[in-house]
Amino acid sequence: MKALVYNGARDVVVKDVPDARVERPTDVLVHVTTTNICGSDLHMYEGRTDLEPGRVLGHENLGEVVEVGSAVDRIKVGDMVCIPFNISCGHCKNCETGLTAFCLTLNPDAAGAAYGFAGMGPYNGGQAELLRVPYGDFNCLRLPPDAKEKQNDYVMLADIFPTGWHCTELSGMRPGDSVVVYGAGPVGQMAAYSAMIKGASQVFVVDRHPDRLRLAESIGAIAIDDSKGSPVDQVLEQTRGEGADRGCECVGYQAHDPQGTEHPNMTMNNLIKSVRPTGGIGVVGIFLPQDPGAPDAMAKKGEIPFDMGLFWFKGQKIGTGQANVKAYNRQLRNLIHTGRATPSFVVSHELPLEQAPEGYRNFDTREEGWTKVVLHPNG
C-alpha cells in the first residue's frame, strides 16, 4: 500500500510499504478515505522525538471497514468509522472510567498509545491506504449515513474537535464564562468553537498570523494579535482588568515569544496573567518529556518553568494532558449529524496522499492560508 513515511527531520516520503492487515482477532482493518495532518505530527516532523525512520504517520483517521478479526462482533465490514487517535484496551482502570488517553494496558508509562506517534507504542498511522485498528470494537466510532458527504467534519472527531472541547472542560468552563485561547491553529480554533457551542459570553483568541485570527473571528471570537502588543494587556483591557474566567493553552512546545524566538513557557505565563484569580486553565498543547533540540538545558530535559508563585497566589486551577477522545466523540458526532456543528471550517487544503510532503512543509512553516490539511489516500 501507499503510505506517508517518516524518514528523518523535515523529511517525509510517500512510498510503498507492506499492507496493514488484521494481526489479532480483535483488530479491524480500515480503508482510509480521510486523514489529517496535525500540529502533533510536527513534533515528529521537526525531529524533536526519537521516532524511528520508516514509521507511517497519521493519527486523525476516517474510513470504511474492509475486514474484521474473528473476535470483533459489533463493528461490521462496510461501516464508515472515525477512529479516535488514542488506542485503548477498554478494560483497564483508566479506560473503564473514560480516561482512554491513559490506557494502562497498552502504555503503562503514562503517555497512552496512539497511531504513528513517538513514545506511544509501535502502531503505524493512517496517512496510508489501510489502517490496522487494535481492539476495533472499542476503538472505532460508527458514523451515520451522511458519513461520506460530511467526512471533512466527522474526521475532526478523531482528535482536534474532542481535544478543543477537552481543553474547555479541563479549564472548568461553564456557560456564560469568558474564555481566552492561546493559539489559533486548528486546536485553538476547535477550543474557541467548543467554547462558543457551550455558551461562552466572550471568546478571545491570541495569535499573530492574520489568516488564523480572521478564521477565529469568522466563528465569533475576538482576535488578539500579540504582534501588536502584550496579549495579557489586551485581554485585561477587555475584561475590566480582571482577566478571563477560563484559559486554554493550544500552542504547546513551539510558542513564540515577543522577540520572535521560541520558548515553551511563554503561553503558560501569559495564561496565568490573563485568567482571573481562581479561574481555570486547560493545557492541551503538547509539552514533551524531553527535547534534545530545546532552547535551554531545562527544556531539553522537558522541564518547562512557569510562574508558580503567581499561579498559587491567584488560586488558579490547571488541567493537562492528551484528550480522552471517546469521552466526547459520540456527542460531538451527533452535533455534526444534526447540523449544529461544522468543524470542517478549519480545513484549508484537501490533497491526495502523494502531495502530503507539500502539506507538511506548508503547515509546518505556517504559510499564509495553510490551517488544516486533509489527505485523501484512496482518491
Which parts of this chain interact with Zn ion (CB under 5 A)?
A: 38, 40, 60, 159
Per-residue interface string for the shown chain with ligand NAD, residues 219-248, x marking contact by CB under 6 A: -------x----------------------
Question: With binding defined as CB under 6 A, does residue 187 bind ligand NAD?
Answer: yes
| 284-295 core/surface letters (b: 16 or more CB in 10 A; e: else) | bbbbbeebeebe
**Per-residue x/- track, 278-297, ligand NAD (CB under 6 A):** ------xxx-----------
Angle at CA 77, nearest 5°, toward 71 and 80?
115
* C-alpha to C-alpha distance for 62 and 259, rounded to whole angstroms: 40
178 binds, among ligand NAD, Zn ion, none (CB under 5 to 8 A by kind): none
User: Per residue in 226-246, is it b (16+ CB within 10 Å) or e — as a string?
Assistant: beeeebbebbbeebeeebbbb
89: nearest Cα among 63, 117, 108, 109 = 108
**Is residue 212 at the binding interface for ligand NAD, with CB under 6 A as the rule?**
yes
Q: Of 40 and 88, which has the nearer Cβ to Zn ion?
A: 40
Binds ligand NAD (CB under 6 A): choice among 185, 243, 279, 280: 185
Q: Is 275 helix (H, G, I), strand (E, B) or coil?
A: strand
Q: Which is nearer to Zn ion, 40 or 269 (CB)?
A: 40
The residues with which 269 forms a beta bridge, in sequence order, are: none
- Residue from 2, 48, 209, 246 touching ligand NAD (CB under 6 A): that is 209
The binder of ligand NAD chosen from 26, 33, 35, 40 (CB under 6 A): 40
Write down the least CB distance from residue 162 to Zn ion, Å: 10
Q: Which three cell numbers stand for residue 32?
A: 482510509
Cβ-contact 10, 47 below 8 angstroms: yes
The reply on whether position 255 binds ligand NAD by CB under 6 A is yes
Q: Does 188 bind ligand NAD (CB under 6 A)?
A: yes
From residue 137, how far is each of 14, 71, 161, 334 by CA, in Å? 30, 9, 22, 19
* Binding segment toward ligand NAD, per CB under 6 A, in 4-12, 25-33, 38-46, 63-71: 38-46
Residue 251, C-alpha cell as written in the block: 500552542
* Interacting residues with ligand NAD between 145 and 184 (CB under 6 A): 159-160, 163, 182-184
Selection from 161, 128, 172, 137 nearest residue 18 by Cα: 128
Q: Which residues bind ligand NAD (CB under 6 A)?
A: 38-40, 43, 159-160, 163, 182-188, 206-209, 212, 226, 250-253, 255-256, 266-267, 284-286, 322-323, 366
